[in-house]
Structure 1
Amino acid sequence: MGVQADVRGQIDRWSRRYGVDSRLACALAWMESGHQPGVVSSTGAWGVFQIQPATWHYVEHVLADRRYPRNVEGQVRVGLLFLRHLLQSFGDTRKALAAWYTGPARVRRSGVGARGRWFAADVLAIRARC
């Protein structure tokens, strides 16, 4: 099985388990990394969902109260748990995606903003093809 097929399989599996739309998760992962688990950004975000180290810590210590391996499965699980948290917190897919991209505090304080709107629109366009 190729890396991208493994990533997609993990997204499908854990999306069902966590109650997250697998097509939305697929699109977000594609937007962030092209489903490539080895990608690291200049800001330190890494993996399939480009999770910042502080976000990984938050998921492990606040949302899940457990550690996750630093492999494809762990990347997918942490990404989906954080996405689910944002979807539940904001109650709106576009706001949740904007919060993913620009940060939850910024969206709460200032609204979605142009960058958040752009990011959400692109993810939702990709979702139609996942």
Structure 2
Amino acid sequence: MPNTFLHYTYPDHIVRDANANKRALLDAGVPSRSQMQAIVADTARKMGVDPSLALAHAFTESSFNHASVSPANAIGTMQVIPSSGEWASDLVGRKLNLLDPEDNAVAGVAIIRQLQRTAGSLDIGVAAYYQGLGGVQRNGMKEDTKDYVAKVKNYMKRF
């Protein structure tokens, strides 16, 4: 895969890891998009998160395609990078495997839940999933983040 996404360029070692994760997902096989949609919705309900919010994030991130991996090494349906996966593991109290479809949903939903609890508003929480809470608080929303927030909020109406 290329080392750029939108206006970001990623170091070679990150792109190497992303390619390895993409190969692992393709080799293992992944659930269908409708199966992933159900996994995300079920996970959200179990974790006390509005399913429409979790589904909107997942649709915006990957269109429910668990084989998705970005040049930033954002993995799976919820497009969680490894460092965020470690944080999500801490949030839920167990080691999560981002390549595993159910664990990927747990990681994404745990992050959404934590951001919505701490961000102060729906928009800031959604933006923080994409840009990081610290970045949003320090710098405000970048233009691509504003677009992301608008997409997620629009897709929430669909789910």
Measured against aligned partners, the alpha-carbon deviations of 1:84-106 in whole angstroms (never above 9, x if no partner) come to 01000113111011111111111
**Percent identity between the aligned chains?**
26
Indicate the RMSD between aligned Cα atoms, in angstroms: 1.3
What TM-score, normalized by structure 1, do the two folds share?
0.91
Instruction: Specify the SS of the correspondent of 1:116.
Output: helix
Report the equivalent of 2:48. 19
Report the equivalent of 2:26. none
Report the equivalent of 1:67. 95
> Structure 1, unaligned stretches of length 5 or more?
none
Report the equivalent of 1:31. 60
Report the equivalent of 1:105. 134
What TM-score, normalized by structure 2, do the two folds share?
0.75
Matched, 1:91 2:120: yes
Greater Rg by CA: 2
2:88–2:96 contact (8 Å) kept in structure 1: no
> Structure 2, unaligned stretches of length 5 or more?
1-30
Instruction: Specify the SS of the correspondent of 1:128.
Output: helix
Matched, 1:8 2:37: yes
- How many residues align? The count is 128
Report the equivalent of 2:156. 127
Q: CA deviation at 1:83?
A: 0.5
Q: CA deviation at 1:68?
A: 2.2
